[in-house]
Amino acid sequence: MVINCEENFEIKKLTSFKIGGAVARVYFPETEAEFVEVMEREPAAVVLGNISNVLISDSGFSGAVVLTSKMNKIIFDGNRVIAECGVKGQKLAQEAARAGLGGLEFMIGFPGAVGGEVYMNASANGQAVCDNFVKARCYSRERGVFELSKEEMHFGYRSSICQEENIKILSAEFELEPLGAEKVNARMAGCLEFRRAHQPLLNLPNCGSIFKNPPAGSAGKLLDECGVKGTVLGGVKVWENHANFIVNHDNGTSLDVLELMARMHKVVDEKFGIKLEPEIIFLGGNNKREDELCKMLYQKTQK
C-alpha cells in the first residue's frame, strides 16, 4: 500500500499557532485502511487533525505525525450524519445547517477536526460533542478497528476514554434534530458572535485555550485575577480580551510560548495554590530549555 509520507516536513504553515519546525515523518492517509497501515508501521505516531491545539517545537520533532486532513468524508442518512476524523468542525456544522439539522452549531467556531473534537469532548455555548454523539469507529494497537457507543466513550469535561486508553477516532456518528436551516443558521450566527467576543479568531494565530479549567473554577478567571492580560514575552502575548489565550503577534517561537505559559502557571500557583493543567499538546524533545519547562508544566518530560 502506497501512502503519502513526507520526511523532514516543515509543518509551521499548517499549525494554527504558525509555529513549528521540521517533523521527521508526516503521513497523509486518505482512507481507514491507510490509517491502520500507518499505525501498524509507526505505533508511536502522534495523530493530528487540523493542528489547532498543538504547539510544535521550532527545534523540530523527531517522531512521526499522522495528519488526517484527507480523511474528510461526510455522509448524511436522515437525521444522522457520519463524519470522518479529518473533517473540520466548521465544515460539519455548515453541512448540517444546510441539511436543516441542529446540534452541531457550536462547532462553527472551532478550528479543529472531528477526530480531535470527539477525543477531547469539545464544547462551547452550552453544547458538547457528547450531546448528539451516537458512536465512533476507533483504532487502537491492542484492539485494531472497533466501535464505541456513547456510554462506552466515558465522556467527561474535555475528556473521554480515548485519552485513557490511547484510542484514535476514525469517524463519528451523530443524531441531529430537524430544526430547519433558518433556525440552525441563526444558532450558528450566535455561536460565532460569542466566539468573536470571547476568543481570538485565527487571524490572530493561537491554539485555543492554554489551560484546562480546574475542578472548581475557571482558568481564565484565575489568570485574569492575576493580571496577566496583555503580558508580552518575545513574539507572543496573552490576549487582551481573555487571559487563557496566547496569540502569536510577532513571529513568536515555541520557547516564547512555553516561557509565557510557565509565567502564567506560576502566578496562579502562587496566588491561589492551584497548578493549572495545560490543555494544549506539545511536541518537541530537541531543546533543553523547552524540556525543562515542559517537565514543570506537564509534570512529565514531553516526547
Supply the residues annotated as catalytic. 158, 209, 279
The grid coordinates listed for 132 are 448528539
3-state SS class at 111 = coil
In whole angstroms, what is the distance from residue 195 CA to residue 210 CA? Answer: 16
Q: To 10 degrees, what angle do helices 181-198 and 89-98 make?
A: 150
Q: To 10 degrees, what angle do helices 254-272 and 288-297 make?
A: 30
In whole angstroms, what is the distance from residue 234 CA to residue 174 CA? Answer: 43
128 strand-pairing partners: 123
Q: 161 with 192: CB under 8 angstroms?
A: no
Phi and psi at residue 298, in whole multiples of 5°? -100, 0
In whole angstroms, what is the distance from residue 277 CA to residue 299 CA? Answer: 9
- For the stretch 226-233, contacts whose Cβ atoms lie closer than 8 Å and that sit 24 or more positions apart, written own/partner, are 226/264, 226/267, 226/268, 226/271, 227/267, 228/263, 228/264, 228/267, 231/260, 231/263, 231/264, 233/259, 233/260, 233/263
